[in-house]
Amino acid sequence: MSLAVLAWIAAFAIILFALFQLQLKQHTLSRRVLVGLILGSLFGLCLQLFSESNSAVLNEAMNWVNMIGTGYINLLKMIIMPLVLVSMIAAVVKLEQGGALGKISLLTIGVLLITTAVAAAIGIAVTVVFGLSAEGLTEGSREMARIAVLESHASNVSELTIPQMVVNFIPTNPFADLTGARSTSIIAVVIFGVLVGIAARHVMSEKPEFNQSIRTFVDASQAVVMRLVKMIMALTPYGVAALMAKVVATSNGSDILNLLGFIFASYIAIFLMFIVHGALVSMVGMSPTHYFKNIWPVLTFAFTSRSSAATIPLNVEAQINKLNVPPAIANLSASFGATIGQNGCAGIYPAMLAVMVAPTVGINPLEPSFLMSLIAMITISSFGIAGIGGGATFAALIVLPAMGLPVTIAALLISIEPLIDMARTALNVSGAMTAGTITSRLLKKAQPEPVIA
């Protein structure tokens, strides 16, 4: 190991120590996450600038930094399935009315799909206003290789029907799903947990002597899992610093400049959708300022990790403790929101691509019938994204062929995909939390917070 690599490792260790000092001084988690994001970004920028002529130093230093970021993500992934399973069982067992679960599920999914339709409309509008087009996008070696892969996947995706996607949600081996063996494992575990909870309620009704034992076991299991979530959440500033350092250090400046228009338009569309989320929660009695202030650490992690699924534990914890959302609703909205109706990946992204590529095949993207069909297809297909996995790219693989459009544009944007995907993932998570908040307030499962101007 060279002295240069040791110096970079020592510099990052100083950042971690500084974050630890903030923790000892009991600064709020949101403030520590913000400091971690800034310090990690500065570290990544310095590493890229001063190691530009020596990629070996950059790669070796990033291997050590990645150990922190990847380790944190792995810890979150570790707790996802136990959290979802235990929380869903507890939610059903504690429901005052057995029929409430159906109302919660339908309303949550409804909000997710409606906001996805709105996101698609915003994506279309921004693309038109900025005059974005697929013409002129360059096809390098990476892009050509990606096109071949996407066209192969597209042929497989086009054969999937919506009923087949829905069937994929049903668990056939819950133990395999607890390992995350399938792209639909999270929803499958939700369904399994609900069924176990329903069975427990029947046992409690048929054999009252087991009532207290079941409740005690469920309460104890949930308390242990939530305590584990809090332990892992305390590591968020360190994980964010490492993840942000990687993003900045490995970004390609020339690629970003070449596609700056699409990047800027994408962030404008995402920002507008965040405003929509704020407006929606304000309609049910919660201040947008209060909402975004309390979910900021969760959005920051989603932004840096680019994983809606890995954010589920933080999502659930913030909804319950910060937004006053009941556990049943928080777990359902976080789990469904990670795989269904993703506002950023399944809403804005495929809408923008479709409008950009439509003129290249002789379709007028402003034709009302095209726009209505596109929004409807995006909304419907967003319900099945989890059936095939792959997030935004696979959302495009469903929508574009269904609209008679080529999928090659998704490959041409490969160089800037990570940069845009960060914001899309944060929007996905915000959409899930918005759905949980709205469902909670509409079903009057929580006392409204005072509206703060």
Query: What pLDDT sits at residue 55?
Result: 77
CA–CA dist 395, 378 (Å, integer): 8
- The CA-to-CA distance between both ends of the chain, in Å, stands at 55
Is pLDDT at 418 greater than 80 in this prediction? Answer: no
Q: Which two tokens stand for residue 427?
A: 């929007």
The Cα-based distances of 145 to 140, 215, 390, 405, 414 in angstroms read 9, 55, 17, 19, 11
Range of the domain at 91: 3-442
Percentage above 90 pLDDT, the chain: 28
Query: What pLDDT sits at residue 73?
Result: 84
Which pLDDT band holds residue 323 (cuts at 50, 70, 90)?
very high
CA–CA dist 376, 379 (Å, integer): 5
CA–CA dist 401, 383 (Å, integer): 17
The Cα-based distances of 373 to 50, 121, 224, 225, 430 in angstroms read 50, 11, 47, 44, 26
In a domain, 396, yes or no: yes
In a domain, 452, yes or no: no
Q: CB-based burial of residue 348 (10 Å sphere; 0-12 exposed, 13-18 middle, 19+ buried)?
A: buried
CA–CA dist 432, 428 (Å, integer): 6
Other CB atoms within a 10 A radius of the CB of residue 56 amount to 11
In a domain, 287, yes or no: yes
CA-wise closest residue to 270 among 439, 120, 101: 120
| Least confident among 228-237, 244-253, 388-397 | 388-397
Which pLDDT band holds residue 258 (cuts at 50, 70, 90)?
low
Other CB atoms within a 10 A radius of the CB of residue 441 amount to 22
In a domain, 416, yes or no: yes
How do residues 356-410 score in pLDDT, each as one tens digit?
Answer: 988 888 888 889 989 998 998 888 777 655 434 456 776 777 788 778 787 667 6
Name residues whose C-beta falls within 8 Å of residue 3's C-beta, 6 or more positions apart in sequence.
none
Indicate the residue type of 363: I
In a domain, 376, yes or no: yes
CATH at 67: 1.10.3860.10
Q: Which range has the top average pLDDT, 27-31, 119-123, 373-377? A: 119-123
Query: What pLDDT sits at residue 268?
Result: 95
In a domain, 453, yes or no: no
Percentage above 70 pLDDT, the chain: 82
In a domain, 369, yes or no: yes
Count structural domains, the chain. Answer: 1
How would you classify residue 204: left for phi > 0, otherwise alpha for psi between -120 and 50, otherwise beta?
alpha
User: 3-state SS string over 125-170?
Assistant: HHHHHHCCCCCCCCCCHHHHHHHHHHHHHHHHHCCCCHHHHHHCCC
In a domain, 449, yes or no: no
Span 124-147, average pLDDT:
68
Mean pLDDT score of the chain: 82
How do residues 420-432 score in pLDDT, each as one tens digit?
Answer: 888 998 999 999 9
Is pLDDT at 288 greater than 60 in this prediction? Answer: yes
How do residues 151-189 score in pLDDT, each as one tens digit?
Answer: 555 455 555 565 766 677 788 888 888 887 776 777 788
Query: What pLDDT sits at residue 161?
Result: 60
Query: What pLDDT sits at residue 451?
Result: 41
